[in-house]
Structure 1
Amino acid sequence: MLYFARWKTILIWLAVLAGILFALPNVLTESQRASLPGFLPDRPMTLGLDLQGGSYVLLEVDRASLVNDRLQSLRDDVQVSLRGANVGFNSVTEQNGGVQFTLRDPTQGDAARTALQGLTSPISTSLLAGGSVTETELAEIQPNTYRLTLTDAGINYRLSTAVSQSIEVVRRRVDELGTTEPVIQRQGLDRIMVQVPGLQDPDRLKNLLNQTARLTFRLVDVNNSAQAVAAGQQPAPAGSELLQTTDNPPAPILVQRQVMIAGDNLTDAQAGFDQQTNQPVVNIRFNSVGAQRFGQVTRDNVNRPFAIVLDDKVLSAPNIREPILGGQAQISGNFTVQTANDLAVLLRAGALPATLDIIEERTVGPGLGADSIAAGQNAGIIGGVFVIAFMLIAYGFLGIIANIALIVNVILLVAVLSVLGSTLTLPGIAGIVLTMGMAVDSNVLIYERILEERRQGRSVVQSIDAGFHKALGTIMDANITTLIAAAVLFFLGSGPVRGFAVTLALGIFTTIFTALTLTRWMVAFWVRRRRPKEVPRGYNFIPHGTKIRFMAIRKWAFATTLSLSILAIASVFVGGLNFGIDFTGGTVLELRAKGEAADVGKIRDDLSPIVEGDIQVQEFGSPRDVLIRFAVQPQDATTPQASVNAVRGALAQDYDFQRVEVVGPTVSGELAWAAIFGVGAAMLAIAVYVWLRFEWHFAIGALLATAHDVAMAMGFLVVSQLEFNLSTIAALLTIVGYSLNDTVVVFDRIRENLRKYKKMPISDIIDLSLNETLSRTMLTAVTLVLALVALYGFGGDVIRVFVAPMLVGVLVGVYSSIFIAAPVLIYFRLRPDSIKGGTADEGAAAPPSGGATAGKV
């Protein structure tokens, strides 16, 4: 175990060197990165929204409007198809989600089916896969009356296609903003995630994304009165519809339904100024087909008003004074320079194929992002100092080696995150600090095993070799359980939770490398050079050879545990958790007063006429900072973001909006179920692993201990009334991983001793194993607590909600490993002969009757 071939040594240090090179750009300024030689990596980690500010928006295709548009198109297609086949029919109408018509001649039924065959034939959904879907179905619902209905598969196909097309349109619109590294991804069947770090004007982003930008040119109906139709004195004539202008106040105008020219025929759109009025306008240019059509329409309708319609709003309706034959036109209206620029952006990017609704929004101001970076850096540095100092005190020279491995571990983790282009969020920083605390666990396992082997009489070299060898299986078991929790977090989480999961998972791999390879190489190098006569020791916090009779009080511990668990679970239903908007839906705003202090009472009075229901307004951090929270508003169902826009209008003059989070009821319900499923799936997946790796008795003990730890953490959240959100779920899953990590270490020693002492009573074996691993358990818990205390004290208000339940989880995790997981093996009558993988060491000496120490091997 302590011999390394030269090629292995070279590979180890090449990996360390590569890590340093790839991590280096993260500590350099932008100008320094630009001056690096071309062969050196210059890509740092991407900072998330919570660290550099920006906007996160989740868009959803409006299914109802998409179906409505498709039905209108289908109605037109039916009319054209039947007329082309000379099939006589009465009016084609849309009824109950379908298109219905009646034939004049009952004998033309077969001819109608043949004419509509193109609409009911399967359409290809994938050129490569060769899939197809039937979009519409034709049925004769009554004699001589037919109905075309959209199928669910057809609607889903149209939704999927609309999302694919919308992603490209959204990307073009976002690129026009000049932002760097926007993230635009599909989520599920009908959603698009847009993340724009560093964006200074999130409102402009929402305005650009919230418009379909369907531009049409239509003639104004001059034969009927728009005012009469608006007043209800007469219905809108067939072939016309009533729209509103963008004036303030808007005016009704009657336009023909027939689209003369569509925005699809545009090739360019640029903001400019009218040469006569000097007002902002948008100059547009058509392609050859559009120019020809535009010239023909204007030539045939001189002196007639021509409406320019954008998303069913009339921008302007000027009179056609003369034919416009050059393929260029001008859109005028009540534009400012900004709105003219935005309209030009929308027209250049193209129209969305369907309406997109904003169902979730998270916006962080750049000032708040800078504060988060500072808080995260301080927490990371202080946490690192705590852990390094503790390892030096606990293990002396071996602690120095562990600290070198720990520093390299963090460098490698940052390097891998940089290479993968991962986005670093505030929970991601917490993942790095947590990795530092948990990485020490591997070194503690190795060092404690080395010291134990030395106490049993082995030589220094033999002790070191055996320590690494025997700790290998335990380290792998402990880290795999945490990896399972991280995997569940990644696949079921979203946003920052995923960032934490990625950091935690990558930290496990770098930890295994540094502990089992780099640390071993450094120890082997030290042994060969120094030829030590004794294993270095530090301060002995936990004396070896303890004889604590843990199982003697197991009944009392079980009774206490059961009582506290029942109380914790009952408190969730009685006292209730303080659910965040991730699970309830609603809006959270973080404001900073432009003056010296925020006026909480005035804010509440200003918002009372705007927001329905309870409004929570409280100071957050400094007297200038205010946190506002309110539930989902009824007006948001018809006009997304209406309540947030109203609040902005009321408070923007006196306050800067530092953070905005809006979660719709649909998203919140999905997140709640995903959270419940995530915690359950993580516990079951880890239990299955423990079952396969050990025995079913161990799996039950692990499940009960983990359930206890989660219950205790939930009870703490009820008592403290800390906000229960997605970050809290990440904390609970981390507790699951840590609790199983600690439990597996104990189980591994119990399994080893069961094979070694086949005649010893199971309770004595458990006591022996717990005493042998007590030093490791306490030292690991202390290092992790030190890291978490640094996060809690210096990581900022947002991260405290994440760290507080984890601190509780670490403490109860130590308790549950000793007094829940281990005693379960007694109650389920575990026997030594049921243990897999090995036989008793016949030469093993029986331990004293107290079960205090292991026999020599």
Structure 2
Amino acid sequence: MQGKGLINFFVILISIACLYSLSFTFVTHKVERDAVAYAKGDPAKERAYLDSMATVNVYSLGFAKYTYQYCKERELSLGLDLKGGMNVTMEISLKELINNLADNPKDENFKKALDNAEARSKDSQKDFVSLFGEEFKKLSPNTKLASFFASKDNAANNITANSSDADILAFLEKESGSAIDRSFNILRTRIDKFGVTSPNIQRQQGTNRILIELPGVSDEERVRKLLQGSAKLEFWETYDNTEIFPLLENINHTLASTLKVEENKVAAATNDTTAKDSVSGGRLASLGAGNKAITDSSAKDSSSLAMQQARNQNPLFAVMSPNVGQNAQGQQALGNGPVIGYVLQKDTALVNSYFNSPAVKAIIPANVKLLWSVKPVSKETKMFQLFAIKPTGLEGNPVLTGNVIADAKADVDARTNNPQVEMTMNSEGAREWRKISAAASSANPKKAIAIVLDNTVYSAPTVQDEIPNGISSITGNFTFEDTQDLANVLKAGRLPAPAKIVEEAIVGPTLGQAAIDAGINSSVIGLVVVLIFMIFYYNRAGLVANIAVIFNVFFIMGILASLGAVLTLPGIAGIVLTMGTAVDANVLIYERIREEFALGKGVRQAISDGYKHAMPSILDSQITTFLVGVILYIFGTGPILGFATTLLIGILTSLFTAIFITRIIFEWMLQKDMKITVSYPWSDHTMKNANFGFVKNRKKFYAFSIAITIISLISIFTKGFSLGVDFSGGRTYTIKYEKAVNLEEVREHLDGTFGVTSEVKTFGGDNQLRVTTPYLIDQTDDAADKQVLDKLNEGLAKVQNNAYQIVSSQKVGPTIANDIKVSATYSVIFSIIVIALYILIRFRKWQYSVAAAISLAHDAIVLLGIFSIFDGILPFSLDLDQHFIAAILTVVAYSINDSVVVFDRIREYLKLHRAKNEPLSHVVNTAINRTLSRTIITSLTVIFVLAVLFIFGGEVIRGFSFAILVGIIFGTYSSIFLAAPIFADLQGEEKAPAKELSAAEKTSFKTAKA
């Protein structure tokens, strides 16, 4: 084998890299086991133990030492369905939206109407806009709403001074709904880019709230900041420190004369908590900062006696260090730039209270804005910078807004190697930015432009030269994670109205521990069954294949861990599929090797030729499956994206292990003169001389397939489906029991009572649950609400000797938004089209493409039909949910894999058999029979795993495993009985002219006959 040394090197290198990535998971699991042993069942003690270990070095690797927190961030996490995660309720501020649409009027009755509506919305069932209309009518019965909303910005919506109050309220209803929808999509985009696999995001129907569940999230603070940032990006001109310092002196003198009687009140305001809140505003506060160094000596302790005495005479400068430096003569002088001072984090609230006092507000000009830096200058000093911003024009606007940003991405500064965000502006923004940068760079001294996001300064670089192309960077005290989040927020877009977190909790897994254990155990059992079968059928070669499969699973898990992926149920489906494809590649190779042995070749030559002849089939089948994965990765979100990621990684690792690792092992065995066998005497001739009349009897199979397809379509369009909570939404209840409760027991009681599958998970503690049921979701009246509540109480009461109370309830929209459903449908259709095009290019006959497309469509329709027909008949749930999407995509990928292998053998035989003037039907039938052994064996290996998963995997994932199991069976059926015969019919029975065969073709012809 050529390049054996290089391949050995890559195997060792990848193995070390995967082991390194997975080692963090091993370490964190050990620490968490120690925490459980220490706590002895006390959750509080367990959390305290883990908190204490956060900064402790728990892992040493050479000279490197890693803390528990570092390891935790790099472990292979389980998804929400397997482990749980973070639950957040976001509220879109319609009050601020309406205020903005009215251009922030000064009218007191308008403001009071908004306040009253906000207060009533907490208890009322009416929407916010209706409440606002009622409150405004009470306060200003003779004032028309149009007087506030008839503006140039709203003219596009036909809002004029003559619009009635009803027209205005309808406009506000429309804008509110649009704002919530846009916020929903923007938040989902941010979450997807954040890297969370299979997030759940739902609209709470009839409200301005959005429910979000994020699996495997460990950095909760980062999530809060990411979600709450409105992404209001602005570019502002700045003042130089020398221009503002006289104003600061004036403020200092004013404070000294006016704040003496309020000394105690002011001192009470200085505390760390309010300081932190006032600086960050709760928004993306940890993403960046300026980069000016500050010495430790400037970090004065504001609580010291000296500072207390100085505050009497210099209140401002006692807590704020002015921006001073040294001039050319080495003397102290005011520093240049937009930074006017430095303030300790704990004193920022005090400084804010100074600036907001009436006496100081009166002397600060309207064209001066003072904004904080988003991060302290350094972690050690905890000192924030204060910037002087210069509004432009009569309205005090920034020189440019974030609307001109076309793209943003995390990058690295080539000079300093520091993380930064690179922004690309659209054509309009590029023109304006060129003018602004030209003016700033030509000033003397050169001016800085402040980059402000959500009213905090991220950086304020001094513009050195004109920027002509609209491409610039945001630099600062960033980590790479900071730049990823900032680019994510800028690219996802600005929230149309501020969003705040009103509720958050840690939720338990969708699947109970018993179901998780059953799923994992059954998957392991299924894998063991496959490994045993491979040895049982292929003798020593089966053992080699098993080593490759184990390496394949190891590589998949290692790469997922290195990418920071979250393992979910759809991801496991991808691993199951790649196990099948890994075995499939080995089966193709071994079947070819057996054919070479039948020709009397020696072991070394038979192995070499077997790999060579199997390669086209392996590549074609894997490339088509890979194309499905690429399309799903591009178009998919949530669970589809997680499935696609696992599938793509698995295909690459399967090819590597099946082609290279097995070959390395065979080469080693040859060097050691070990006996290599690819069968037992009993299995050597299995299906070797099969000659079933697949093409001859094709019309019978066509009739069967047409009949089952028609039945499926009738059921789909008449009976329809039972939709899971993911697709239909439902009513959600939070239930608190007196004592800890068994999740599986509650789910079993509720499913039996409702008659539909409900989602049950722990919520905040093991005695508190969140239940979401789709029961009567299509009925929204009070009678339906009461009926659902009665059923809920009936099911909950079945838990013996454990009193409970229903803490809260709400109606939620579907987890998967409509556009995700549409994208999933289109991605499946597009996958079929792209595969058909690939087959057309690869096989150079349109008949192959059409046959493959018909076969795939048949499989998808039949699977959907079975779920429709047998829903309510089979003794387990057949709901359509996000896991079903992953299942049907698994079937599509697997089915085309099977069909392509048969097509590849047909293409090979067309060159050989047709030269002997044989009918096409005979050629196609021979090709199907010669690949029959491979097709059945490959299908059996996957079916073994799925059958065990279906039987022993637990009730929760039974419908999911049933979908893949049935789909694989029908996918195998269609590749044998439909795809190839359809190709024969489309091609026609014309005969090729006889010709003399080449020596290689004669050899292959003998092989086929054998």
TM range (shorter): 0.5 to 0.7
Q: Distance in 2 between matches of 1:804 and 1:382?
A: 17
Partner residue of 1:704?
Answer: 854
Q: Distance in 2 between matches of 1:805 and 1:628?
A: 22
Partner residue of 1:400?
Answer: 543
Residue identity matched to 1:736: V
Residue identity matched to 1:729: I
Matching of residue 487 in structure 1 with residue 487 in structure 2: no
Query: Is 1:183–1:195's contact at 8 Å kept on the other side of the alignment?
Result: no
Give 1:692 deviation, angstroms: 1.8
Query: Pick from 723, 729, 738: which aligns with 2:894?
Result: 738
Tell me the SS of whatever aligns to 2:579.
helix
Partner residue of 1:579?
Answer: 723
Q: Distance in 2 between matches of 1:411 and 1:367?
A: 26
Query: Pick from 833, 837, 854: which aligns with 1:684?
Result: 833
Q: Distance in 2 between matches of 1:595 and 1:713?
A: 37
Partner residue of 2:912?
Answer: 756
Tell me the SS of whatever aligns to 1:17.
helix
- Identify if the C-alpha distance between structure 1 residues 264 and 512 changes in structure 2 by more than 3 Å, giving closer, same or farther: closer
Give 1:459 deviation, angstroms: 2.6
Q: Deviations over 1:529-568 (max 9, x none)?
A: 2175865547518331222221111111111111111111
Residue identity matched to 2:646: T
Listed as ranges, the matches of 1:201-350 within 5 Å are 266=278, 286-291=349-354, 293-294=356-357
- Identify if the C-alpha distance between structure 1 residues 36 and 564 changes in structure 2 by more than 3 Å, giving closer, same or farther: same
Query: Pick from 694, 707, 711: which aligns with 1:567?
Result: 711
Residue identity matched to 1:698: Y
Query: Is 1:267–1:287's contact at 8 Å kept on the other side of the alignment?
Result: no
Tell me the SS of whatever aligns to 2:150.
strand
Query: Pick from 101, 113, 125: which aligns with 1:71?
Result: 101
Q: Distance in 2 between matches of 1:488 and 1:421?
A: 22
Q: Distance in 2 between matches of 1:670 and 1:530?
A: 60
Query: Is 2:515–2:955's contact at 8 Å kept on the other side of the alignment?
Result: no
Q: Distance in 1 between matches of 2:965 and 2:757?
A: 28
Query: Is 2:82–2:516's contact at 8 Å kept on the other side of the alignment?
Result: yes
Residue identity matched to 1:73: D
- Identify if the C-alpha distance between structure 1 residues 535 and 386 changes in structure 2 by more than 3 Å, giving closer, same or farther: closer
Matching of residue 771 in structure 1 with residue 926 in structure 2: no
Partner residue of 2:518?
Answer: 375
Query: Is 2:552–2:654's contact at 8 Å kept on the other side of the alignment?
Result: yes
Partner residue of 1:805?
Answer: 963
Give 1:59 deviation, angstroms: 5.2
Q: Distance in 1 between matches of 2:863 and 2:190?
A: 45
Tell me the SS of whatever aligns to 2:600.
coil
Partner residue of 2:438?
Answer: none
Query: Pick from 728, 732, 740: which aligns with 2:884?
Result: 728
Matching of residue 693 in structure 1 with residue 842 in structure 2: yes
Tell me the SS of whatever aligns to 1:551.
coil
Residue identity matched to 2:80: L
Partner residue of 1:86?
Answer: none
Instruction: Give the gaps of 5 or more residues in structure 2.
Output: 32-56, 108-141, 231-273, 283-345, 363-455, 457-494, 762-766, 783-787, 872-877
Tell me the SS of whatever aligns to 1:34.
strand
Give 1:853 deviation, angstroms: 6.8
Partner residue of 1:526?
Answer: 669
Residue identity matched to 2:885: I
Residue identity matched to 1:565: T
Query: Is 2:202–2:212's contact at 8 Å kept on the other side of the alignment?
Result: no
Tell me the SS of whatever aligns to 2:689.
coil
Give 1:526 deviation, angstroms: 1.5
Matching of residue 829 in structure 1 with residue 853 in structure 2: no
Query: Is 2:28–2:75's contact at 8 Å kept on the other side of the alignment?
Result: no
Instruction: Give the gaps of 5 or more residues in structure 1.
Output: 78-90, 101-119, 121-133, 175-179, 213-261, 271-282, 300-347, 608-613, 638-642
Partner residue of 1:466?
Answer: 609
Query: Is 1:434–1:784's contact at 8 Å kept on the other side of the alignment?
Result: yes
Listed as ranges, the matches of 1:14-53 within 5 Å are 14-31=13-30, 34-37=58-61, 39=64, 42=71, 43-53=74-84
Listed as ranges, the matches of 1:534-549 within 5 Å are 537=680, 539-540=682-683, 542-549=686-693
Give 1:829 deviation, angstroms: 2.2
Partner residue of 2:574?
Answer: 431
Q: Distance in 2 between matches of 1:138 and 1:662?
A: 31
Q: Distance in 1 between matches of 2:897 and 2:838?
A: 12
Give 1:476 deviation, angstroms: 1.5
Give 1:463 deviation, angstroms: 1.5
Q: Give the structure-1-normalised TM-score.
A: 0.64
Matching of residue 783 in structure 1 with residue 783 in structure 2: no
Query: Is 2:535–2:542's contact at 8 Å kept on the other side of the alignment?
Result: yes
Deviates more, 1:491-500 or 1:763-772: 491-500
Partner residue of 2:343?
Answer: none
Query: Is 1:56–1:361's contact at 8 Å kept on the other side of the alignment?
Result: yes
Query: Is 2:76–2:567's contact at 8 Å kept on the other side of the alignment?
Result: yes
Q: Deviations over 1:260-300 (max 9, x none)?
A: xx999945999xxxxxxxxxxxx99845354454566999x
Matching of residue 421 in structure 1 with residue 564 in structure 2: yes
Q: Distance in 2 between matches of 1:698 and 1:757?
A: 18
Q: Distance in 2 between matches of 1:185 and 1:715?
A: 27
Partner residue of 2:407?
Answer: none
Tell me the SS of whatever aligns to 1:552.
coil
Matching of residue 55 in structure 1 with residue 86 in structure 2: yes
Listed as ranges, the matches of 1:91-106 within 5 Å are 94-95=145-146, 98-99=149-150
Q: Deviations over 1:437-470 (max 9, x none)?
A: 3311111111111111221333322221111112
Query: Is 1:701–1:821's contact at 8 Å kept on the other side of the alignment?
Result: yes
Query: Is 1:445–1:475's contact at 8 Å kept on the other side of the alignment?
Result: yes
Residue identity matched to 2:643: F
Query: Is 1:387–1:437's contact at 8 Å kept on the other side of the alignment?
Result: no
Query: Is 1:756–1:844's contact at 8 Å kept on the other side of the alignment?
Result: no
Q: Distance in 2 between matches of 1:511 and 1:170?
A: 30
Partner residue of 2:242?
Answer: none
- Identify if the C-alpha distance between structure 1 residues 375 and 822 changes in structure 2 by more than 3 Å, giving closer, same or farther: same
Partner residue of 1:629?
Answer: 774
Query: Is 1:269–1:284's contact at 8 Å kept on the other side of the alignment?
Result: no
Query: Is 1:698–1:825's contact at 8 Å kept on the other side of the alignment?
Result: yes
Deviates more, 1:2-11 or 1:764-773: 2-11
- Identify if the C-alpha distance between structure 1 residues 288 and 678 changes in structure 2 by more than 3 Å, giving closer, same or farther: same
Give 1:697 deviation, angstroms: 0.4
Q: Distance in 2 between matches of 1:163 and 1:380?
A: 36
Tell me the SS of whatever aligns to 2:987.
coil
Q: Distance in 1 between matches of 2:935 and 2:631?
A: 25
Q: Deviations over 1:395-440 (max 9, x none)?
A: 1111111111111111111110010000111222333233223311
Give 1:198 deviation, angstroms: 6.8
Q: Distance in 1 between matches of 2:16 and 2:943?
A: 31
Q: Distance in 2 between matches of 1:663 and 1:11?
A: 50
Residue identity matched to 1:801: G
Q: Distance in 2 between matches of 1:712 and 1:20?
A: 42
Percent pairwise identity: 31
- Identify if the C-alpha distance between structure 1 residues 451 and 457 changes in structure 2 by more than 3 Å, giving closer, same or farther: same
Q: Deviations over 1:64-90 (max 9, x none)?
A: 65652222225559xxxxxxxxxxxxx
- Identify if the C-alpha distance between structure 1 residues 774 and 21 changes in structure 2 by more than 3 Å, giving closer, same or farther: same
- Identify if the C-alpha distance between structure 1 residues 366 and 765 changes in structure 2 by more than 3 Å, giving closer, same or farther: closer
Q: Deviations over 1:610-637 (max 9, x none)?
A: xxxx99588999xx99984335589899
